[in-house]
Structure 1
């Protein structure tokens, strides 16, 4: 059963959407803590998100950007805002569609089914999956996986983006500012330690593959992939 996550702070609208979605055989999960939307996202791994723009604390644009760091699941904005720029902002921040309030529940369901077909079903892209490889190490960016020999590790979206940058830049250095720009749209809101934490996580993923020294720190500049393992063999 596919799961739809509803991010709507008007309880009556959220209840109405949940009941209607469940009527058509989907699981519908409502967000109740609007300061921790991603906690609900991680707990349920939804196949599609219905997202309001006007929300407590952070707006829907912000939460859509957070989702896009980790997932390509469809995001449909539902909002009372009817301006053309609001719709443009929704799409530019990672949304797939926009529905204005008041809305028809039938239209919402039609758009949900359309996005699910396009992403997972008969209309899903059949394009060949990307694979980045270097001396036996393989990164599958869309699958969020990395393999070496017979071992495989799962990655977060941020981890996959960092490793992709390291592979793309090799043997050059991937600068800290370049990595921050790739991972986050607005660097001014990123704590200096945030990248360090993500690099530490990336190193742990390489360690799980038996490659403990794969990420080299270039002091004052950034990071470089340290390809010192024999291709296809053990260190």
Structure 2
């Protein structure tokens, strides 16, 4: 069953789309927080997004760009804007298709089926949807890129640095033992010891500092390290 994420602030239109798509056995999730669409998208993990342009706080073009930092999930704009420039901007900001309001539900369904088929079905070369994203307190980790992002700023980590930080992030506010972290860093090629661990922790702290995050990784003597989520924001 495909999951469709509807980002539409008009409750009537959202309800019509929800009911119609549910009738055809799609799993449908509607956006709730129009300040946190990016985070909701990570949690929902949709197979396709229906996105309005006129939204509270930030418009659909902005959210399309934000979603594109996470995933190549298909995005169809549905908007009352009929101008050619709006359609051009939708595509240039990462959209795959554009439907104008008022719309026929049959057209919406046809475009959804076609896009899903091209992305995941018989015409697809591979599953394009990126699932490798983790977040903690607004800090995003992209495991397919070894990149961390904080408030729109990005930093690329080495493979070992990212493994280490990912382990800490997934156990945020918990002490992770040195032994567990050494196992994470071990790759059967390069010798790994306590010094290697300490060096990589220092490097990760430096990377976070470049993003404005201070005192996020605590050293717990004789135990290990802990990522605390009440870090200082130096920006």
Q: Give the Cα separation in 1 of the matches to 2:131 and 2:94.
A: 19
Deviation at 1:144, TM superposition (A): 4.8
- Say whether the 8 Å CA contact 2:51–2:78 is kept in structure 1: yes
How far residue 66 of structure 1 moved from its aligned partner, in angstroms, is 1.0
When residues 112 and 100 of structure 1 are mapped into structure 2, their CA distance, relative to the original with a 3 A threshold, is same
Identify the residue that residue 80 of structure 2 maps to in structure 1. 80
Question: Given the two structures, how large is their TM-score scaled by the length of structure 1?
Answer: 0.62
Structure 2 unaligned spans of 5+:
134-139, 166-183, 187-195, 208-235
Whole-Å separation in 2 of the counterparts to 1:116 and 1:43: 20
Q: Does 1:205 align with 2:163?
A: yes
| CA apart distance, 1:202 | 7.3
Alignment of 1:7 with 2:4, yes or no, is: no
Q: Contact 2:49 / 2:73 at 8 angstroms: preserved in 1?
A: yes
Assess, with a 3 A threshold, how the Cα gap between structure 1 residues 121 and 199 changes in structure 2: closer, same or farther: same
Rounded Cα–Cα distance in structure 2 between residues aligned with 1:65 and 1:202 = 29
Q: Deviations over 1:15-46 (max 9, x none)?
A: 00000000101011111211111232122201
3-state SS in 2 of match to 1:50: strand
Q: Secondary structure at the match of 1:160?
A: coil
Distance in 1 (alpha carbons) for counterparts of 2:55 and 2:160: 33
Q: Distance in 2 between matches of 1:143 and 1:39?
A: 13
Alignment partners' CA distance in 1, 2:16 and 2:103: 11
In structure 2, C-alpha distance between the alignment counterparts of 1:20 and 1:61, rounded to whole Å = 25
* Rounded Cα–Cα distance in structure 2 between residues aligned with 1:126 and 1:116: 12
| Contact 2:45 2:131 (8 Å CA) reproduced | no
* Stretches (4+) displaced over 2 A: 142-145, 159-163, 198-202, 206-218
- d(CA) in 1 for partners of 2:103, 2:159: 43
Return 5+ residue gaps in structure 1 as ranges.
130-141, 146-154, 164-178, 219-235
- Report if aligned partners of 2:65, 2:93 keep a CA contact under 8 Å in 1: yes
- TM-score under structure 2 normalisation? 0.62
Contact 1:70 1:156 in 2 (8 A): no
When residues 99 and 144 of structure 1 are mapped into structure 2, their CA distance, relative to the original with a 3 A threshold, is same
Contact kept in structure 1, 2:47 and 2:73, CA below 8 Å: yes
CA RMSD of aligned residues (A): 3.5
Supply the distance in 2 between the matched residues of 1:162 and 1:85 (Cα, whole angstroms).
35
Aligned to 2:28: 28
Q: Does 1:90 align with 2:90?
A: yes
1:41 partner SS: helix
Q: Deviations over 1:46-98 (max 9, x none)?
A: 10000001100011111111111111110000001111111111011110000
CA deviation string 1:171-191 (max 9, x = no partner): xxxxxxxx9xxx89xxxx84x
Q: Which of 137, 143, 161 is the matching residue for 2:145?
A: 161
Report the count of equivalent residues: 170
